[in-house]
Amino acid sequence: MNQYEKTPLEERMAGRREHQEELHTKRETILLRIRNVLNLIFMVGAIVGVIYYVSADKQTGIYIILGAMVFKIMESAIRIFEFTFKVKISSIEKRALLTVPSHAPTT
């Protein structure tokens, strides 16, 4: 066996890595869309709240702005948990790579 040939285990692990990367990208795309929608709701709500605050009842305007802030908090929570998930996965992968014995060529 040549030192540059992959073992069957390495081939399987490469296939699993590709599949996991594909799943991560799909998940990230879905989360990005959700975050964009939540941001849009927040921005529209904040603008409507400020307009209502300036032109009409101040207390109702504050309630509208606070309601919009709930959507921003939800978006921020998704962003924080997404980052935490990425860090956790990368640290697990690093640990797994450190514990896998290298396949040094035997002489």
* CA 50 to chain CA centroid, nearest Å: 31
Distance between CA 78 and CA 89 in Å, rounded?
A: 16
Task: Please state, rounded to an integer, the average pLDDT across all residues of the chain.
Answer: 77
Predicted pLDDT of residue 60: 93
Which of 26-35, 41-50, 51-60, 83-92 bottoms out in mean pLDDT, i.e. has the lowest? 83-92
Cα 16 to Cα 6, 23, 83: the distances in Å are: 15, 11, 22
- Mean pLDDT score, 35-40: 94
pLDDT band at residue 29 using 50, 70 and 90 as cut-offs: confident
More confident call, 81 vs 67: 67
Q: Where are the alpha helices (DSSP H) in 1-107?
A: 8-55, 58-99
Which pTM does this prediction carry? Answer: 0.59
**pLDDT of the residue at 70:** 95
For residue 20, what pLDDT is reported?
60
Task: Say if residue 101's pLDDT is above 60.
Answer: no
Query: Long-range contact list for 77-80, CB < 8 A, 24+ apart?
Result: 78/31, 78/34, 78/35, 78/38, 79/35
